[in-house]
Amino acid sequence: MVGRVARWSGGVLLWAAIILMLAVTFVPAFLDRVYYHGPHSDHYNGARFENFAGAVNFPVPPGAVRGNLITRFLLGRSDRPEWPDKIDVKQDKPPVRVMGNDMRVNWVGHATVLVQTAGLNILTDPFWSPYASPFPPLGPKRVAQPGIAFDDLPPVDIIVVSHNHYDHMDLATLKRLWQRDRPVIVTSLGNDTVIAGSGAKAIALDWGQKVEARGATVHVLRNHHWSSRWGRDRNRALWSAFLIETKAGNIFFAGDTGKGDAQWPLAAKAFGPIRLAIIPIGAFRFYPGQMVTDSHIGPEQAVEMFTALGAAQGLPIHWGTIRLSNEAWDTPPKMLDIFMRCHGVKPDSFRARRIGEAFMAPVQPAAPHAGEAISPQAMADCKAGSPALSALK
């Protein structure tokens, strides 16, 4: 009896939360926000930004409607695999600086990466908060603590922020970093307005623009995504990838992205060899068997991007930290391994890392991504519907 009452009460509270969140989307035009005013362009219509390959479509399984999918996801009434409540993390204590040509890399979790090289400390999409949500404790919650405790984070020189979704633009973290280090924060158009709400100042650039930052050059590049903080403000701010030129080599950060026209990552190669490519592999499945969404590439597309870039080292990100989709916690790295084998990618050049695991990025690629012979079994495993892929939920 007590259990039934508790479940009923929990259901009522959850539905109340759902109604509140949906109300934010449908009610008030005053919840719209205008973050940017500027001239029209091939990706800005005077009010909202656009992808070259068209608008992002949300995933809907065959025979379902989007509303049903959202309800099932929020209530947990689906056949999605269970996720762990907590992942053990061995936190790293990085040095204050890494000088010269060495490049030390640490996946802090989700899309947050600390790169230390040429005397610079560079952070991507810093996220240290326990929730990625406008209404914590509702919304996606961390299952893994950051790979570096905030107090162990060395002074940060450069931050790049890919877009304004809560799992990538964490205003609480940006505020702490700004107050402590006064880093150069680089983002794309409109996001500086959002970041200003934290008290921090950011440099907002359009696709194809660049800025000099403490001895490095940060290029803002296009990718394929969307933006919103409140629902009504969809695509009022731009989203982007980045190419960071340092004295020790170039760093590519894909941001949060779908495949789009598949041509946009190649722009990064125009600035010379890429030493480190940071590429997302997770949040691609919203119904059984789905391999990619319009807004998030999956492991197969990530491997294709990595090989096209010809990077010396890749780092898979955007998995295993907060639950945003329906794949199992460890499906992205397992699937990545399958597709690496059938593409002949040398195992260590783009393998998944543990949160908090530090490694040194090599200067040159290993035997231009041809270090492993491709077996017939590896090719068979990569085919759609193969037992190897079907076994991954």
> Can you tell me the distance from the alpha carbon of 318 to that of 85, in angstroms, rounded to the nearest whole number?
18
Look at residue 89 and tell me if it is in a domain. Answer: no
Count of structural domains, the chain = 1
Return the pLDDT at 386: 95
243 phi, psi to nearest 5 deg = -125, 120
Q: Half-sphere exposure (CA, 13 Å, Cβ side) for 109?
A: 28
Could you tell me which of 302, 304, 234, 252 has the C-alpha nearest to residue 29?
A: 234
Look up the CATH number of the domain holding residue 253: 3.60.15.10
> Can you tell me the distance from the alpha carbon of 215 to that of 199, in angstroms, rounded to the nearest whole number?
25
In angstroms, the Cα distances linking 283 to 123, 198, 293, 332, 370 are: 21, 27, 8, 8, 28
Neighbours of 360 (CB within 10 A): 13
Return the pLDDT at 288: 87
Residue with tokens 């001239």: 39
Look at residue 7 and tell me if it is in a domain. Answer: no
Neighbours of 271 (CB within 10 A): 16
> Can you tell me the distance from the alpha carbon of 278 to that of 253, in angstroms, rounded to the nearest whole number?
5
Return the pLDDT at 17: 58
Look at residue 112 and tell me if it is in a domain. Answer: yes
Look at residue 65 and tell me if it is in a domain. Answer: no
Q: Provide the token pair at 78.
A: 């689906």
Look at residue 353 and tell me if it is in a domain. Answer: yes
Return the pLDDT at 8: 54
pTM here is 0.89
Look at residue 207 and tell me if it is in a domain. Answer: yes
Look at residue 372 and tell me if it is in a domain. Answer: yes
Dihedral, CA atoms, 375, 377, 383, 386, nearest 10 degrees?
-160
> Can you tell me the distance from the alpha carbon of 55 to that of 234, in angstroms, rounded to the nearest whole number?
11
> Can you tell me the distance from the alpha carbon of 106 to that of 92, in angstroms, rounded to the nearest whole number?
8
Return the pLDDT at 108: 98
Domain with 178, as residue range(s), is 103-390
Pick out the chain residues at pLDDT < 70: 1-31, 62-79, 366-372
Look at residue 59 and tell me if it is in a domain. Answer: no
Return the pLDDT at 364: 80
